[in-house]
């Protein structure tokens, strides 16, 4: 069959197989291959079959890059994070589960790990949007993403300030208050707070919950015990050392850290300084990442339904992509306290 005979000028594809390679080997035009691959009709059955055979032989796949440049949609949803750490990967698991069976593929992009850049979310969105991805879930953006692109966006754990995109978060105030109340109830009075990243609404709200609980208990807020850990282990190192090196009598008997990552680091610093947990220091975190059960002792923390939050964000994004109006702009999921062995009464008596 002459169709199967490669033309004289045939060059075996060395690197990536392109649509041109397929066309040349199949002996048809590029546009015919495109139509066959995309299932457009108006192609003779015999031609289609033959082309598909070549496609299969060569292992051709349309380049998402080239096609997205030309097309308006790609069937790919982006998940934009600063970094792949326990919090964002937990959301990712939830998003991934929820994406199953929707026909969309997932592309997670970490564009913030170069350090100094603060507007990674707008930057990433701009770099990928409009072409590569049809929509995006942005995790913990610290800046507005307005004017970034025209694609639909949903934010998880949004930044402070007005934002026009739908958001998903947990009950930050309630969770923080519950965590602080637990410590107060145990008899702690010097309860330090290791805050989150500036610019994030969750950071502001957890701080507010902490202060509310102190006030309700009649405990005056002490600026010396109120630090910022930036939600990260490295940024928590200095403030944790400062807090735990305060002279006895001033040193906190408990630390409520704004997320688990910084709480776990507080525990490390405590161990380093010879403080026993929970006898000498109680520690509470926020998020309940899987790692929170791996420490010794396991960490008491505020449980957020992270995977569910991710799934919810994807659900909203899919609705947006389908053109359905979004019923609620802010979806808040409940948080609950999970008590493990990192807390005790000030003296060290167990619960």
Partner DNA sequence: CTGTTAGCGCATTCAG
Partner DNA sequence: CTGAATGCGCTAACAG
Residue 99 and residue 233: Cα distance in Å, rounded? 31
Partner from DNA, a second copy, none binding residue 147, C-beta < 5-8 Å depending on class: a second copy
The DSSP code sequence of 329-348 is SEEEE--EEE--TT---TT-
Query: Does residue 289 touch a second copy according to CB under 8 A?
Result: yes
Q: Binding to a second copy (CB under 8 A): which residues in 12-31? A: 14-17
Nearby residues of 244 by Cβ (< 8 Å), 6 or more positions away: 251, 252, 266, 269, 270, 273, 275, 281
Nearby residues of 298 by Cβ (< 8 Å), 6 or more positions away: 292, 340, 341, 342
Q: Binding to a second copy (CB under 8 A): which residues in 143-162? A: 147-150
Nearest residue (CB) to a second copy, 149 versus 342: 149
105 forms beta bridges with 76
The DSSP code sequence of 243-280 is HHTSPTTTS-SEEEESSHHHHHHHHHHHHHTT--TTTT
Which string of x and - marks every residue 112-141 that binds DNA (by CB under 7 A)? Answer: ------------------xx----------
Partner from DNA, a second copy, none binding residue 70, C-beta < 5-8 Å depending on class: DNA
CB of 113 vs a second copy, minimal distance in Å: 5
Torsions phi, psi for 275 (to 5 deg): -90, 135
Q: Which of 69, 221, 339, 351 binds a second copy (CB under 8 A)?
A: 69
Which string of x and - marks every residue 36-75 that binds DNA (by CB under 7 A)? Answer: -xx-x-xxx-xxx-----------x-xx--xx-xxx----
Sites of contact with a second copy (CB under 8 A): 14-17, 59-66, 68-69, 83-86, 89-90, 92-93, 95-96, 99-101, 103, 105-111, 113-115, 122-123, 126-132, 147-150, 289-291, 293-294, 298
């Amino acid at each position: 069959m002459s169709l199967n005979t490669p033309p004289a000028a045939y060059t075996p594809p060395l690197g990536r197989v392109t649509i041109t390679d397929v066309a040349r080997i199949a002996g048809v035009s590029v546009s015919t291959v495109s139509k066959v691959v995309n299932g457009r009709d108006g192609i003779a059955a015999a031609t289609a079959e033959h082309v598909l055979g070549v496609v299969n032989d060569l292992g051709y796949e349309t380049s998402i890059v080239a096609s997205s440049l030309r097309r308006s949609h790609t069937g790919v949803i982006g998940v934009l994070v600063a970094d792949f750490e326990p919090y964002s990967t937990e959301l990712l698991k939830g998003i991934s589960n929820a994406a199953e069976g929707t026909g969309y593929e997932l592309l997670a992009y970490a564009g913030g790990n170069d350090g100094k850049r603060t507007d990674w979310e707008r930057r990433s969105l701009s770099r990928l949007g409009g072409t590569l991805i049809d929509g995006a879930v942005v995790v913990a953006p610290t800046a507005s993403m307005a004017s970034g692109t025209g694609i639909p966006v949903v934010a998880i754990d949004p930044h402070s300030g007005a934002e026009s995109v739908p958001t998903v978060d947990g009950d930050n105030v309630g969770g923080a208050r519950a965590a602080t109340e637990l410590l107060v109830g145990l008899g702690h009075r010097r309860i330090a707070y290791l805050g989150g990243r500036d610019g994030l609404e969750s950071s502001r709200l957890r701080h507010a919950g902490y202060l509310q609980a102190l006030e309700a208990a009649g405990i005056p807020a002490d600026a010396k015990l109120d630090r910022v850990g930036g939600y990260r282990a490295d940024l928590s190192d200095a403030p944790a050392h400062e807090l735990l090196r305060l002279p006895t009598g001033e040193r906190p008997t408990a630390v409520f850290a704004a997320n688990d990552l910084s709480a776990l680091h507080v525990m490390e610093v405590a161990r380093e300084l010879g403080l026993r947990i929970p006898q000498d220091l109680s520690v509470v975190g926020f998020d309940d990442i899987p790692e929170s059960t791996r420490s010794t002792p396991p960490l008491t923390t505020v449980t957020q339904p992270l995977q569910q939050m991710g799934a919810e964000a994807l659900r909203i994004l899919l609705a947006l992509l389908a053109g359905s109006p979004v019923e609620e702009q802010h979806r808040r999921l409940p948080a609950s306290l999970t008590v493990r062995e990192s807390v005790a009464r000030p003296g060290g008596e167990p619960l």
